[in-house]
Amino acid sequence: MEKLVSSWFTIKTLPENYVFPAGKRPGKLHAPVSKAIPVVDLEKACGLHGRLDIIQQIMEACEDHGFFQVINHGVQATLMEDAMAVFKEFFELPGEEKSRLFSEDNSQSCRLYTSTVNYRKEEIHFWRDALTHPCRPLAECVQHWPEKPNRYREVIGALCEEVNELGSRILKLICEGLELEKGYLENELSKETSLTVNHYPPCPDPSLTLGLSKHCDPNLITLLIQGDVPGLQVLKDDEWIGVEPLPHAFVVNVGYLLHIISNGKLKGAMHRAVTNAKTTRTSAAFFINAAENSIVQPAKALVGAENPPLYKAFRYGEFFKTYASHSGDTEIVLEPYKMKY
């Protein structure tokens, strides 16, 4: 429990086990907040012409950056604000309350932890606490969620329903953009949704540490509420670029599964989170994910003699195990699944 950064962050100097070696420090903390990450106005996707235009915008964003933001997406702004307030209240709960949920056992579905699942094996930790739990099917999951703050289940339950809907809208647009048969992405490949609430308290020296290391998410797509404090950065052409916090937007990114299913057409982009000295930053990531037993492989419709499959087929659960054991170095996770020609 005393491991949680949110329990002791008011110290003046960064503890040594949070100080990264020179080459691994964040470098640019204030990466240019770039307009390069496209902002897609989903309201414009009504009507055939608008829809095709939005699909094209999403495809370009997924091919160039693996990242885009969506606005006018149908999730109520007040619900998003309420949920972010509830998450903040959660991390401000007294230690005893939080300790009930603290667990370093990856198999526990609802748990609070710090840094990464590999905390015990890490030499250097990340300046981040996280609350994680599944959110689909909602009725089955909700009973395992935090009981405090009192509004948690009600508010987050309502948000999850809307986010799941938004997720399937976005998957439909991507499916169409890839010219895959209807429903190709909306089955076992996107059956699960889990939520991770990242919490980055103010840090005594943001230049020496990271909130989250460079990684690509292991799932299909991620929908992130990044709140109003900057900190998310995306790697593009070897440069870190900041993702501008936009009110009530969702940041959407392509995970490894969609990268593989699209046979490399859509980019599973590397990203990270930096900390700041003044303000607590809380973000909420909804991971739309395959069921453990689903088979993942490049879509048959996207491969052929001219475009051979880049990856072998695999069972998602197996892949995820390897991924989880490699936090901090996710690039090598794809290696065993690459075709060698």
Cα–Cα distance measured from residue 31 to residue 23, given in angstroms and rounded to the nearest whole number: 17
Residue 144 CB partners (closer than 8 Å, separation 6+): 109, 110, 133, 134
User: Closest distance between ligand OGA and the C-beta of residue 81, in Å?
Assistant: 18
Torsional sign, CA 57, 60, 61, 62: positive
Please choose which of ligand OGA, Ni ion, none residue 273 contacts, taking the beta carbon within 5 to 8 angstroms, the exact cut-off set by kind: ligand OGA
Alpha-carbon torsion 235, 213, 28, 278, what sign?
A: positive
Number of shown-chain residues binding ligand OGA (CB under 6 A): 12
Which residue from 192, 266, 271, 337 is in contact with ligand OGA, where contact means CB under 6 A?
Answer: 271
Give the CB-side neighbour count of residue 259, counting CA atoms within 13 A.
Answer: 22
The binder of 196, among ligand OGA, Ni ion, none, by C-beta within 5 to 8 A per type, is ligand OGA
Pick from 212, 252, 257, 269 the residue near ligand OGA by CB under 6 A: 212
d(CA 13, CA 203): 9
**Which residue type does 139 have?**
A
Q: Which does 283 bind (CB under 5 to 8 A by kind): Ni ion, ligand OGA, none?
A: ligand OGA
Residue 211 CB, shortest distance to ligand OGA, in Å, is 7
**In one letter, which amino acid is 110?**
C
CB of 142 to ligand OGA, least distance (A): 21
Nearer to Ni ion, 217 or 244 (CB): 217
Interface characters, 181-220, with Ni ion (x: CB under 5 A): ------------------------------------x---
Q: According to CB under 6 A, which residues from 214 to 243 bind ligand OGA? A: 217, 224, 226, 231-232
HSE-up of 255 (CA within 13 Å, CB side)?
A: 23
Q: Which is nearer to Ni ion, 97 or 122 (CB)?
A: 122
Q: Tell whether residue 273 is a contact of ligand OGA (CB under 6 A).
A: yes
Choice between 178 and 232, CB closer to ligand OGA:
232
- Closer to ligand OGA by CB, 27 or 308: give it: 27
Cα–Cα distance measured from residue 19 to residue 126, given in angstroms and rounded to the nearest whole number: 9
* DSSP assignments along 174-243, one per residue: HHHHTTPPTTTTSSGGG-EEEEEEEEE---S-TTT--SEEEE--SSSEEEEE-TTS--EEEEETTEEEEE
**Pairing relationship of beta strands 67-71 and 250-254 according to DSSP bridges:** antiparallel
Query: Closest separation between CB of residue 46 and Ni ion, Å?
Result: 30
Instruction: Name the residues that contact ligand OGA, by CB under 6 A.
Output: 196, 198, 212, 217, 224, 226, 231-232, 271, 273, 283, 285
Instruction: Name the residues that contact Ni ion, by CB under 5 A.
Output: 217
